[in-house]
A and B are shown apart, each in its own frame.
Chain A
Amino acid sequence: MYIVVVGGGRVGFYLARALFNAGHEVFIVERNSRRVDELVAQFGNVAIKGDGSEPIIQMAAGVARADILIATTGADEDNLAACQLAKHRFNVPRTVTLINIPEDERLFEILGVDVVLSSTQLILGAIEGELPAHAAAHVLPVRGDREAAAIEVPPGSPIIGRRLGAIALPPETFIVAVIDRNGELKELNDDTEVEVYDEIVALAASDQAEALLEIVSARR
């Protein structure tokens, strides 16, 4: 495929290298002439100096025959202008942009940019995938070195769909009530099935409360 990259900064540079390695034809537009020299030294004659949102520069870069245009500059307004020009003036089938301000995502999507990537969102998404969703719990110390805990069953919890009798509880731990997501008390016996967003009320020895929380929490 023929791919034009607007912005030859760090992202643009490594992106171009990866695209070359994958066998694509790549052309880079970069405003800073020193960067252009570095790109040419690295990749050969596949970069020009110029403003990637100017029609004359996109024409010179052969955007009219590009399959994809990818905008990677540090200014969202320049990325938007480059994508809109490519799409509406040169009929590029697919436009992709990096955005620097996460709030701009909706505007870019409304305006028809095909793929909008926010670095902030990408990082947040990655972090959320790493962390197990911990169950929300209220814990109250009670007599006899025990704790009363009310724990909500989060999505992804391994006990969803299990019968109470089939859940291996920590020692000296008793489930005293299960309340469904609508606030209704469930009948309590070994056959009671646990559903997502149920609230489990339990009594546990103080040193076992954490273990109980682990059992209810979602896994990675």
Chain B
Amino acid sequence: MNVIVMGCGRIGTQIAITLWREGHRVTVLDPVPESFLSLPMELRETEGSTIVCDGILEEELIHAGIKEADVFVAVSNRDNRNAMAAQRAKHIFNVPHVVCRVGDVERQEMYNKLGLAAISPTKITSALILEAVFP
């Protein structure tokens, strides 16, 4: 599958590496070129695997191959950018699988109600920590 990962932080890196090892075609977007250093050399040196951009502009997403993408994952550290790019991928480009990261729990729930798959690391992490403390 063709996968676009927006944001090459810890989460983006983890997702990109996992899918790439499974044989998917992965393109990672990040405005800071150095963030791609977290990717394995072999992936980084693959043609078209990294693009230096925010991913919030329509033309950036087209350049990243959104028209042929099967999966779009928005996991940068900016909630609003993730939500906007994910909604663009879903409603303008009809990407079949779209998921975004939204830290704020209330807004994550709002986006879910609007039919956008949003995941809140805040909610998941705190739930796991509470479970570890009070099993």
Q: A54-B104, A76-B56, A88-B113 are in contact. Are A81 and B91 (CB under 8 A)?
A: no
- Of A75, A89, A101, which contacts B106 at CB under 8 A? A89
Q: A107-B88, A107-B92, A111-B91 are in contact. Are A88 and B80 (CB under 8 A)?
A: no
Q: Which residues of B, 7-59, contact A by the 8 Å Cβ criterion?
A: 56-59
Let me know if B84 and A81 touch, CB within 8 A: yes
Which B residues touch A89, using CB under 8 A? 106-107, 110
User: Min CB distance, B62 to chain A, in Å?
Assistant: 10
The docked-state distance in angstroms from the alpha carbon of A200 to that of B113 is 59
User: Min CB distance, A190 to chain B, in Å?
Assistant: 55
The docked-state distance in angstroms from the alpha carbon of A53 to that of B81 is 12
Q: Which residues of A, 49-97, contact B by the 8 Å Cβ criterion?
A: 53-55, 75-78, 80-81, 84-85, 88-89
* Chain B residues within 8 Å of chain A by Cβ, number: 21
Which B residues touch A110, using CB under 8 A? 91-92
User: Min CB distance, B30 to chain A, in Å?
Assistant: 16
* Interface residue A184 (Cβ < 8 Å from any Cβ of B): no
* Chain A residues within 8 Å of chain B by Cβ, number: 20
Which B residues touch A81, using CB under 8 A? 79-80, 83-84, 107
* Interface residue B123 (Cβ < 8 Å from any Cβ of A): no
Q: A80-B83, A101-B57, A110-B91 are in contact. Are A88 and B114 (CB under 8 A)?
A: yes
* Interface residue A220 (Cβ < 8 Å from any Cβ of B): no
Let me know if B110 and A80 touch, CB within 8 A: no
Let me know if A77 and B80 touch, CB within 8 A: yes
What 0/1 readout, one digit per residue, does chain A (92-118) give for beta carbons within 8 Å of chain B?
A: 000000000101101100110000000
Let me know if B107 and A77 touch, CB within 8 A: no
The docked-state distance in angstroms from the alpha carbon of A152 to that of B24 is 56
Which A residues touch B63, using CB under 8 A? none
The docked-state distance in angstroms from the alpha carbon of A75 to that of B80 is 10
Which residues of B line the A interface, CB within 8 A? 56-59, 78-81, 83-85, 87-88, 91-92, 104, 106-107, 110, 113-114
Starting from the known contacts A77-B56, A106-B92, 20 additional A-B residue pairs (CB-CB under 8 Å) come to A53-B79, A53-B80, A55-B104, A55-B107, A76-B84, A77-B85, A78-B80, A80-B83, A80-B84, A81-B79, A81-B107, A84-B83, A85-B107, A85-B110, A88-B114, A89-B107, A101-B57, A103-B57, A107-B84, A107-B87
Which residues of A line the B interface, CB within 8 A? 53-55, 75-78, 80-81, 84-85, 88-89, 101, 103-104, 106-107, 110-111
Contact sample, A vs B, 14 pairs, CB 8 Å cutoff: A53-B80, A77-B78, A77-B83, A80-B87, A81-B107, A84-B110, A85-B107, A88-B114, A89-B107, A89-B110, A103-B59, A106-B92, A107-B92, A111-B91
